[in-house]
Amino acid sequence: MTESSVHPALWPAPYATGAVEATVTVPGSKSVTNRALVLAALAAEPGWLRRPLRSRDTLLMAAALRALGVGIEETVSSSSAAAPGAELSEGGEAWRVIPSGLHGPATVDVGNAGTVMRFLPPVAALADGPIRFDGDPRSYERPLNGVIDALRVLGARIDDDGRGSLPMTVHGGGALDGGTVEIDASSSSQFVSALLLSAPRFNQGVEVRHTGRTLPSMPHIRMTVDMLRAVGAQVDEPETGGEPNVWRVSPSAVLGRDLTIEPDLSNAQPFLAAALVTGGRVVIPDWPERTTQPGDALREIFTEMGGSCELTDAGLVFTGAGRIHGIDVDLGEVGELTPGIAAVAALADSPSTLRGVAHLRLHETDRLAALTKEINELGGDVTETEDGLHIRPRRLHGGVFHTYDDHRMATAGTVIGLAVEGVQIENVATTGKTLPDFPQMWAEMLGV
């Protein structure tokens, strides 16, 4: 839990005076946008991303690819284009990605984006020249050894500080051999995704063998595999008959695609939670019928906690009954949902046990410690377990909810603030990592 060095203003989380009734259009998925940017940059032809997420994490990814020579242009409407190389804005409709020879020297700012710090080093290894990676102080603490060690085995030259973390320089050689590599991805599924995403461009493709005991966030690996197949890559993997814990990507050209990005279902979570907490009804338009996003699991999890939902032509209609039940659930596959589930669980009528998420200690902050401390400081009763949280609901009171530069801590505290008067969110602007308009969207949902 590294506290922000500055102490930005406190934001009073709105208290709900009645049942929320709203339709909330949620911007594009971070995970899909950043994969699509990487694949489009590696393609043999230009491609389009429509309705991309524009947030800190995705703008950092776009800026990094531009620094490596990739063209990313914005269209403001179907007929007009912003000047090539112009700043990417919050308002445009689509990004056109024009691949070119990747090259250094360049510097990549990863911020605190796991997708940028892990997905881009393999891309840098394919570039010609030195690429320096740096980021927020927290990025130095997040695990990267799985990517660094694997890239060295696959033929890359990397200078780091010997700790297997940022900052570091990848000395791109213009191509990478590729081949077989063993990694322990128990601390982050993004190690596997990172190696697979660039692998069609490795001379021999890749065979990734995961040797660790556990592997979190499987839906995100599925997302990687599906998106690779959609750009023409051949992938063998455990879920379609391959060996367990082994993924193979053959060398091939990457096709340029025209892709419309799905709404970010994990960012739909606080809005669905608002319906659950207030006994209201929230509609999320464009909820996909079929998706690899982990946020889709909210339909089941929030139903078990007392809501009900229906997928209609208008989108996902989620209704709360005004009572929240505790839950005993393994969140290993959907770890990024944990802060939002913990917030709702703290308001439930029975205890909850959240399991399978030890790796959250290495996310934007130590999420298990941060949730325990912040909910308990509002009068709650949360204890950390080896791999999760026990949450015994108590009557909560107002106070400052610290967010530790973690967007999901900020949205979790805001959900508690709906039911508890006087909750103040420290640095709500940290939601800009994946959802820059969160405070306005929240106010609009509540009609305040």
Ligand X SMILES: O=C(O)C1=C[C@@H](OP(=O)(O)O)[C@@H](O)[C@H](O)C1
Q: How many angstroms separate the CA atoms of 166 and 151, rounded? A: 15
Q: How far is the CB of 217 from ligand X (least distance, A)?
A: 3
Residue 220 interaction partner, one of ligand X, ligand PEP, none, beta carbon < 5-8 Å per kind: ligand X
Q: How far is the CB of 27 from ligand PEP (least distance, A)?
A: 14
Binding residues: 30-31, 35, 114, 142, 188-190, 217, 336, 363, 367, 408, 433
Select 169 or 193, whichever has its Cβ closest to ligand X.
193
Structure token pair of residue 257: 């695609």
Select 210 or 407, whichever has its Cβ closest to ligand PEP.
407
Stretch that binds ligand PEP, among 96-104, 109-117, 126-134, 240-248 (CB under 6 A): 109-117
Instruction: For the chain, report the end-to-end CA distance as a whole number of angstroms.
Output: 32
Q: Answer whether 400's CB lies under 8 Å from 426's CB.
A: yes
Strands 389-392 and 352-355: antiparallel
Binding residues for phosphoenolpyruvate: 30, 114, 142, 190, 367, 408, 433
Q: How far is the CB of 188 from ligand X (least distance, A)?
A: 3
Assess 336 for contact with ligand PEP (CB under 6 A): yes
Q: How far is the CB of 57 from ligand PEP (least distance, A)?
A: 6
Select 127 or 147, whichever has its Cβ closest to ligand X.
147
The single-letter code of the amino acid at 180 is: T
DSSP state of 4: P
Q: How many angstroms separate the CA atoms of 132 and 418, rounded? A: 43
Distance from the Cα of residue 231 to its chain's centroid: 21
Assess 114 for contact with ligand PEP (CB under 6 A): yes
**Footprint (CB under 6 A) of ligand PEP, residues 244-263:** none
Binding residues for 3-phosphoshikimate: 30-31, 35, 188-190, 217, 336, 363
Q: Which of 85, 103, 23, 74 is nearest to 286 (CA)?
A: 23
Q: Which of 53, 55, 49 is nearest to 75 (CA)?
A: 49
Q: Which residues here bind ligand X, judged by CB under 6 A? A: 31, 114-115, 188-190, 193, 216-217, 220, 335-336, 359
Select 52 or 172, whichever has its Cβ closest to ligand PEP.
52
Q: How far is the CB of 336 from ligand PEP (least distance, A)?
A: 4
Structure token pair of residue 100: 């070119």
Contacts (Cβ under 8 Å, ≥6 apart) of 51: 27, 28, 93, 94, 260, 261
Q: Which of 160, 154, 157, 153 is nearest to 134 (CA)?
A: 160
Stretch that binds ligand PEP, among 86-94, 107-115, 346-354, 395-403 (CB under 6 A): 107-115
Among left, alpha and beta (phi > 0; psi -120 to 50; other), residue 106 is beta
* Choice from 256, 408, 411, 430 touching ligand PEP (CB under 6 A): 408
The single-letter code of the amino acid at 369 is: A
* Choice from 33, 58, 115, 403 touching ligand PEP (CB under 6 A): 115
Is 336 annotated in the active site?
Answer: yes
Select 283 or 370, whichever has its Cβ closest to ligand PEP.
370
Distance from the Cα of residue 272 to its chain's centroid: 18
Select 96 or 138, whichever has its Cβ closest to ligand PEP.
138
Q: How far is the CB of 337 from ligand X (least distance, A)?
A: 9
Q: By beta-carbon distance, which residue lies closest to ligand PEP?
A: 114
Residue 113 interaction partner, one of ligand PEP, ligand X, none, beta carbon < 5-8 Å per kind: ligand PEP
Q: How many angstroms separate the CA atoms of 49 and 57, rounded? A: 16
Q: Answer whether 148's CB lies under 8 Å from 199's CB.
A: no
**Footprint (CB under 6 A) of ligand PEP, residues 361-380:** 363-364
Phi, psi values for residue 145, rounded to 5° = -55, -35
Residue 189 interaction partner, one of ligand X, ligand PEP, none, beta carbon < 5-8 Å per kind: ligand X
Q: How far is the CB of 193 from ligand X (least distance, A)?
A: 5
Residue 408 interaction partner, one of ligand PEP, ligand X, none, beta carbon < 5-8 Å per kind: ligand PEP
Select 372 or 411, whichever has its Cβ closest to ligand PEP.
411
Catalytic residue among 73, 336, 364, 374: 336
Structure token pair of residue 93: 């409709």
Q: How many angstroms separate the CA atoms of 69 and 232, rounded? A: 23
- Which whole-number Å values give the CA distances from 247 to 192, 193, 206, 235, 382, in the listed order? 8, 10, 8, 7, 38
In sequence order, what E strands does 271-404 have? Answer: 281-284, 308-312, 315-319, 328-330, 352-355, 381-384, 389-392, 399-401
Which residues contact ligand PEP (rule: CB under 6 A)? 113-115, 336, 363-364, 408, 434
Q: Which residues are catalytic?
A: 336
